[in-house]
Structure 1
Amino acid sequence: MVTVRSLLAVAVMYNWELCQTNVSNAFLHGDLFEEVYMKMPLGYAGKGETIQNIPAKKFKVCKLKKSLYGLKQAPRQWFAKLSSALLSFGYQQSKADYSLFTKSDDTQFTAVLCYVDDLLITGNSPEHIQRLKDNLKSSFHMKDLGELSYFLGLEVSKTAQRVFISQQKYTNDLLKENGVLNSKPYKLPLDPNTKLQADVGTPLQDPELYRRLIGKLIYLTITRPDICYSVQILSPFMQSPTSVHLQAVKHLLRYLLNAPAQGILLANNSAVELRAYCDSDWASCPMTRRSTTGYCILLGDSPVSWKSKKQSVVSRSSAEAEYMAMALTCCEITWLVSLLKDLGLNDLGPVELHYDNQAALHIAANPVFHARTKHIKVDCHYIRDQVKSGLIVPKYVNTKSQVEDVFTKIVSVDQHHKLLGKLGVCYLHDSQLEEE
């Protein structure tokens, strides 16, 4: 989904055409290279035979010549077929994301992003896009869905100045399914005083309800960075959820009532540059005492990548936790720069990494802190190499201006809305008013 958001952000930045197509019966196009047999369909015996006359041990089987729905090889074989077709059309497969294909001819650029049988096509030449559609139609049975409006559950509203992405229908269906439409909305996704633990509350008789809710909320974080931290807090309890955990999920659902149409805004009037913010909350987990890492990366003013994740090991100090957060963000920046180069952004320049911890910034620039960093040497060397190469430029940012705080902690209501505004998160009616 980071690739989807990045592609849309670049398309909006250069005012490219955005369209989508769908392949009918995609898995039936794949070619098989192994011998695969299947049982005869029920009621079918073959030419000149009846079911009653065939002994049980002499039933025949079918040998498959092409892939079939339900076959384990079907998804891979379909993608191999599609990849071969696009490569034969002159497209190149991205090394950063193998589902992305691009073609550049002098000043003409076209990109195709594949998700199973859904194709997202964009570029600066309508003629090249139409030529690609014609080539695909000659190889597969295609449906041209026209201008991009609904892709993988994402509702895309495009204007001349910006693109607004939300999951309004998905959110409304989720709220209606769980019966909270008539409840009073909350202003924050979680209660700031809540410290969830595994052994507090009554175990749920039906844990599947909790697991389904968490799975749906995880998919909602595609366009809702404001609930990313809360979902990360609630996810570890899916194995044995209790009534307290379910109550916290209900709290989060009632927070969504404030603005079901909330999403992210991708603007075209921003600079072609990457900016990153990262932070950590030291020993925030009350059960494991592991720290929480959070980061957000923006292309100009458009948010393209964000994450809230518990660190894999216990940090001995806050500086160590902060430094590990920087390492994770550097990895994401390195990959994102490679992806954007495939999309034609070759002159991004150094990426500013904003941080609010002076100790971590000093460690990144000064190799003399051996006693404090010898047990995290791999991360140290990686970040320093990125700083020396000029890819990363660490910069200090005041804690009050650290937009990444929404990914590591529950802040006050005013600060919450202030940071979301800086992240490019808005309501649908807000973007409409700006247009007017």
Structure 2
Amino acid sequence: MRPLHWLSLLSHSGDTLIVQIYVDDIIFGSSSHTLVSSFAEQMSREFEMSLMGELQFFHGLQIKQDLEGTFVHQAKYTRGILKKFNMGDSKPLTTPMSTNTALDADEDGEAVDQKEFRGMIGSLLYLTATRPDIQFTVCLCARYQASPRTSHHQAVKHIFRYLKFTPELGLWYSSGSSLSLRGFTDGDHAGCRIDCKSTSGTCQLLGTSLVSWSSRKQASVALSTTEAEYVAAASCCSQLLWMKATLSDFGLRFDRIPLLVDSTSAISIAKNPVLHSRTKHIDVRFHFLRDHYEKGDKDLIHVVSANQLADIFTKPLEFDAFTPLRGELGVCYPF
């Protein structure tokens, strides 16, 4: 049975109140202090509850708020899992995965404790709520939970050693950020060594604030880099459409949302119907990307690979390339 998770939005005299309920915990905030106080008083009259004050800690998330913005991190949780899995004294590393690492099934490798491996993966997956910089590596290692080997265990330990180096990192949400929506998308062709399926990486930002991201293996085998990039762009487009509809409840309207892709060929497929005759093997469900481009919902824009933020969700990167992208995503140390 899934826990209760409920979100409500109330507008009153130009101000907005947002209420979120998770099991027996309630988080609420508003653009008006008066509206917050009124809601708190009403809830206290109707229900037996304790007002804890300004949000600072919630289910492992640590929140620091000031006039300049909000910083969300899991430093306490990170140190806890380092201690739990005996990695507290490990040697720190500067990236979550080496570019020389190429994981596969490793059927000839030595088997490791499946329970411990799954526990490590589960702990890391929860940490990705504030650490998008480890999303790709954790998801890659999670594919081998059914039969983990020493090589997979070493890759997971590499992530923990990176966390030892960066326990305080979290996500920064600036109060001065603009309310412009944009998406980045990238595809790593045939990235999986087992079934040759590609990896889609996407991220969506509201101004400079990262609000959604994903790294996942594509459902079908892409026959070219162009197809892999096109499928990833379709996935990002779908998420942007959902966000556009959700943000409309807050009175925000967006037209021609920028979707930044580093493949000119993938952009051409979406813009030029003539090219479709040479791409009939691409599943028809992905061609809705072109439909929404024609409607003006999306504006496909080419971005050079060095500035493609979604690269961090598709492949391991060297420190010099990894660190700037991490910073652009808003992953930083507390101020």
What TM-score, normalized by structure 2, do the two folds share?
Answer: 0.95
* SS in structure 2 of the partner of residue 382 of structure 1: helix
AA aligned opposite 1:353: L
Contact 1:324 1:379 in 2 (8 A): no
Structure 2 partner of 1:213? 120
Aligned partner of residue 324 in structure 2, secondary structure: helix
Match of 2:267 in 1: 361
**Which among 217, 223, 243 is matched to residue 316 of structure 1?**
223
> Which residue of the other structure, out of 171, 176, 185, is the alignment partner of 1:269?
176
How far 1:331 sits from its partner (Å)? Answer: 0.9
CA contact (8 A) 1:114 1:120 kept: yes
Q: Which residue of 2 aligns with 1:240?
A: 147
| Aligned-CA RMSD value | 1.6
C-alpha distance in 2 between matches for 1:267 and 1:345: 20
Q: Say whether residues 1:371 and 2:249 are aligned partners.
A: no
- The answer to whether 1:293 aligns with 2:200 is yes
Q: Secondary structure at the match of 1:374?
A: coil
CA contact (8 A) 2:98 2:318 kept: no
Of 303, 315, 326, 1:420 maps to 326
- Return the alpha-carbon distance in structure 2 between the equivalents of residues 181 and 364 of structure 1: 49
1:390 shift after superposition: 1.7
Match of 1:63 in 2: none
Q: Which residue of 2 aligns with 1:405?
A: 311
Contact 2:260 2:300 in 1 (8 A): yes
Q: Which residue does 1:328 correspond to in 2?
A: 235
Q: Does 2:181 match 1:181?
A: no
Of 187, 202, 212, the match for 2:110: 202
Assess if the C-alpha contact under 8 Å between 1:351 and 1:391 holds in 2.
Answer: yes
Counterpart contact for 1:273–1:349, Cα < 8 Å: no
Question: Partner residue of 2:289?
Answer: 383
Alignment-mate amino acid for residue 122 of structure 1: G
Give yes or no for contact 2:234–2:287 (8 Å, CA) kept in 1: no
Deviates more, 1:228-237 or 1:368-377: 368-377
Shift of 1:377: 4.9
Partner of 2:52: 145
**More deviation, 191-200/214-223:** 191-200
Return the alpha-carbon distance in structure 2 between the equivalents of residues 100 and 384 of structure 1. 33
The answer as to whether partners of 2:209 and 2:330 remain within 8 angstroms in 1 is: yes
Question: Partners of 2:27 and 2:182 in 1: how far apart?
Answer: 26
2-side partners of 1:380 and 1:171: how far apart?
38
Q: State the identity as a percent.
A: 37
Q: Is the 8 A contact 2:244 2:253 kept in 1?
A: no
In structure 2, what residue type is equivalent to 1:172?
Answer: R
Distance 1:166 1:103, change over 3 A: same
Distance 1:235-1:200 versus aligned 2 partners, 3 A rule: farther
Equivalent residue, structure 1, for 2:10 = 103
Runs of 4+ in 1 over 6 A off after TM superposition: none
Cα deviation, residue 125, structure 1: 1.9
| Equivalent residue number for residue 300 of structure 2 | 394
Q: Name stretches of at least 5 consecutive residues in structure 2 with no aligned partner.
A: none
Range with bigger deviation, 367-376 or 259-268: 367-376
Is the CA contact (8 Å cut-off) linking 1:296 and 1:305 kept in structure 2?
A: yes
- Quick one: which of 164, 185, 192 aligns to 1:257? 164
Q: Larger C-alpha radius of gyration, 1 or 2?
A: 1
Q: Taking structure 1 as the reference length, what is the TM-score of the superposition? A: 0.74
Amino acid at match of 1:396: H
Q: Which amino acid aligns with 1:312?
A: A
Q: Note the C-alpha offset of 1:120.
A: 1.5
Structure 1: how far apart are the matches of 2:286 and 2:158?
Answer: 40
SS in structure 1 of the partner of residue 230 of structure 2: helix
